[in-house]
Amino acid sequence: MTETKVNSEKLIGAQIFLECLRKEGVDKIFGYPGGVILSIYEALYSCDFIKHYLVRHEQAAVHAAEGYARATGKVGVALVTSGPGATNTVTGIANAYYDGYPIVVFTGQVGSNQIGNDAFQEADIIGITRSCCKHNYLVKDVKELPRVIKEAFHIASTGKPGPVVVDMPKDVLCAKSSFEYPETIKLPGYNPNYNGHPKQISKALELLCEAERPLILAGGGIVASAAMNELKLLSEKLNVPVTNTLMAKGVFPEDNDFSLGMLGMHGNFWANHAISSCDVLFAIGTRFNDRITGCLKRFAKDAQIIHVDIDPCSINKNVKVDIPIIGDAKNVMTAMLEEFDSNNYEIHFDVKQSWREQIGEWKKKRPVFEHPSEKLSAITVIKKVYEYAKNSDPIICTEVGQHQMWAAQLMKFNKPRKFITSGGLGTMGFGFPAAIGAAVGTDNGLVINIAGDGSIQMNIQELATCVQYNLPVINIIINNGYLGMVRQWQEKLFNKHYSQTKISGPDFVKVAQAYGARGYRVTKEEEIIPVLQEAIECREPVFIDCVVEECEMVYPWVLAGDPLNKVILSNE
């Protein structure tokens, strides 16, 4: 390992920690102080190269770091104390792990000589997070701190991105050492393969060219790889339509003729039928989670499956594939395009055209959006917000529930990193702090969080963070008085036994005002645009409480365990 000596003067661990962040280009972090990390906050007091954003709950610090990472493509950083501070981060760490976004979470720990003695505010965060992070470290010597931090950022941002946890005992942060930061790292057990095998790539290309009913399934790995242009070129050259997962919204332009939009449990009817009827499925950067496969035995049952993923553990894990390619999405598709251009591959455009015509017939069958009463429709609210805001190039964040699925269905994107939502873990309370991170990462560009009246209360305290730093995040609260998605399942699957899903909430307008933010209430369709316009123009944190119909349903809907082509389109 080569090291560069930066400072011969000895620094304490807390100062070394900040110098390491400087070396990694970190200038913004999200955190919450506590006893064992006070030495870091003392160093931060006079630090002029890092801006610290004080959240009001440690979970929100991690979600904000992830929102920052999603919006910018950089590694997000969270800093918390030991014990409950550390355990409060677990949901955020797991969320970033399942959706594959790079964050480094620094936790304080009791002194090294107290570990294992049930000391005050001690928690085994290494053991707790082992199953829900990409890697974790317990720093045992201040001299190890630079190497560990260098490795943490490298692991978080390479291969399949993900969270890394660094646990730092109090005595390590107070001990002195000279600061030497590694220029390079060597991790013998960690060598992601970025280039797919040439023979496998050739096989995949031949299969796609010969296919009569080919389909590309684009996953979130394309975002991490920045492979959007390669995906578009490959689709157009091979005349293959593209469907995407929830995590991949925007990786393929949704206004493109080849786009089928999102598939899955609440995905487009035609996308689900296409994947159920294709003869070759080219899946890139997806782990085939159950929300996009439905019944595994019936998933793409007539197709030969090509699967590209940089994570070898994702291949053949959920879906058995015919041509596995371990590699980076951008590199693999670049190799395919180069081979296609340099060889005389024959494309049966007439055959593939009939396939696209069949998809066009499926597109005519659309869900029926039913409004059970005269009350304001949640669907109308989300449509209006999208139509008004889309020309301002907003980042749309969501919480989790019905509103999330309506937003995913109704809002269209032509580039990635504009739709930020919790996929794999389905974390209520994610959207608002993630929107804070996105606002910080984009220097307060237009960020709108679509929330439910249940999920917004999970991290409602972060209004104080928004107000303190004047972050102009707009929260659109779809207030239907229920935990809407759970109520929907109860209506269809549990004989309308609405057990513990009707909820009461505060007056969200007064809550916003109490925190020093702006609050508005919308009950009629004609009120939506004037209120939204004022919210955007004021450049302040805003709650817009939209009181909507209680019993709207999300369609299309594939019931859990059903095949994707068994789609419910309406209450009928």
- Residues marked active site are found at 58, 120-121, 170, 485
Helices (H), 442-483: 463-469
The packing angle between helices 402-410 and 378-389, to 10°, is 40
Nearest to 39 by CA among 11, 77, 8: 11
Q: What is the DSSP letter of 241?
A: -
Which bin fits 305, alpha (ψ -120 to 50), beta or left (φ > 0)? beta
Element (H, E) at 73: none
Tokens of 274: 């296409």
CA angle centred on 185, ends 183 and 191, rounded to 5° = 140
The answer to whether 38 touches 52, Cβ cutoff 8 Å, is no
Three-class DSSP category at 310: coil
Place of tokens 């050739």: 202
- For 338, counting Cβ atoms within 10 Å of its Cβ (0-12 exposed, 13-18 middle, 19+ buried), the class is exposed
- For 371, counting Cβ atoms within 10 Å of its Cβ (0-12 exposed, 13-18 middle, 19+ buried), the class is middle
- For 36, counting Cβ atoms within 10 Å of its Cβ (0-12 exposed, 13-18 middle, 19+ buried), the class is buried
Element (H, E) at 94: helix 90-99
Q: Is the bond into 312 cis (omega within 30 degrees of 0)?
A: no
Three-class DSSP category at 82: coil
Nearest to 462 by CA among 65, 84, 103, 58: 58
Three-class DSSP category at 509: helix
Place of tokens 């009569």: 212
**What is the C-alpha to C-alpha distance for residues 218 and 244, in angstroms, rounded to an integer?**
5
CA diameter of the chain: 75
Three-class DSSP category at 495: coil
* Three-state SS sequence of 117-150: CCCCCCCCHHHHHCCCCCEEEECCCHHHHHHHHH
Between strands 28-31 and 542-547, the pairing is: unpaired
Q: What is the DSSP letter of 356?
A: H
Three-class DSSP category at 22: helix
The answer to whether 66 touches 133, Cβ cutoff 8 Å, is no
